[in-house]
Amino acid sequence: MGTLETLRPGSVVLVGGGPGDAGLMTVAGRAAVEQADVLLVDHLAPADALAWARPDAQVVDVAKLPRGTFTPQERINELLVTHARAGHRVVRLKGGDGFVFGRGMEELLACTEAGIPVRVVPGVSSSVAVPALAGIPVTHRGLVQGFSVISGHVPPGHPDNRLDYAGLVASRTTLVVLMGVKHLPEITAELLAHGLDADTPAAVVARGGHPDQQVHSAPLADIATVALATVAPAVTVIGEVARFAAVLAPLQETH
């Protein structure tokens, strides 16, 4: 079964839409959008991709904004199943990759448990693409041999936080923090407490792939303060590779 397969009535396709620029959607993602009868769309999904939808397609906003419209996940699952049972070709369009902090598996399970045929079209995850858009590679030969993508949604010390910050520091991998701007002061303090050098380069890339993309660079000890100036969504990169933001920045200003 290929990802370019024709959508069948009564089925669901979970499409990763990339970090926000419709040009970063996959060919399979676009093909699914073009065929959909119903699209359930996140706020981080590329808005311009909706121009590819059929004029008669129903577009349902299922945003989960922290201080705005909030659609509970259970409601989204229910909508997927209800529309598919009505015989619609359903596309769930999300930002990035649906399986990276995207609750995509919950949606897949809701469909399979209801006996709805479902497939996955992976997307370009902001965890790698947003640093890349700012000229930051998450790995670089001779400098770093891996990267760790972590959620900053719950701060260190919170009962729901099971991250091992000492282990992250010891791993010597690039750290990529998603959903982390709000708790960046606590996260950086925890990394410093576990021995990460205060001078470690760091960068916050906000609204990656959008015309108003911003890149703020600072040593680890200062990055949380610098990040106060950013607008969501943003990805924080911590590690030697964050230095590379300075290479592309002058070129991005003039082009």
Ligand X SMILES: C[S@@+](CC[C@H](N)C(=O)[O-])C[C@H]1O[C@@H](n2cnc3c(N)ncnc32)[C@H](O)[C@@H]1O
Residues at the site binding ligand X, with contacts judged by CB under 6 A: 19-20, 44, 95-97, 100-102, 125-127, 130, 178-179, 205-209, 233-235
198 vs 195: CA distance, rounded Å: 9
Whether 64 sits among the annotated catalytic residues: the reply is: yes
We find the least distance from the C-beta atom of residue 248 to ligand X, in angstroms, to be: 16
Marked catalytic residue, from 64, 94, 197, 222: 64
We find the least distance from the C-beta atom of residue 115 to ligand X, in angstroms, to be: 26
CA 106, distance to chain mean position in Å, is 16
Marked catalytic residue, from 42, 61, 97, 212: 42
Q: Which residue, 46 or 201, is less far from ligand X as judged by CB?
A: 46
Q: Which residue, 44 or 120, is less far from ligand X as judged by CB?
A: 44
We find the least distance from the C-beta atom of residue 175 to ligand X, in angstroms, to be: 13
Q: Report which of 235, 246, 203, 245 is spatially closest to residue 19, judged by C-alpha positions.
A: 235
216 vs 226: CA distance, rounded Å: 7
> Which residue's CB comes closest to ligand X?
96
Alpha-helix residue ranges (DSSP H) falling in the chain = 27-35, 73-85, 104-113, 126-133, 165-171, 184-193, 220-227, 245-254
Write the CA distances from 33 to 17, 68, 84, 227, integer angstroms. 10, 25, 15, 35
178 vs 206: CA distance, rounded Å: 11
Q: Which residue, 37 or 191, is less far from ligand X as judged by CB?
A: 191
53 vs 31: CA distance, rounded Å: 9
We find the least distance from the C-beta atom of residue 10 to ligand X, in angstroms, to be: 26
119 vs 207: CA distance, rounded Å: 28
Q: Which residue, 31 or 129, is less far from ligand X as judged by CB?
A: 129
Whether 94 sits among the annotated catalytic residues: the reply is: no
Active site residues: 42, 64
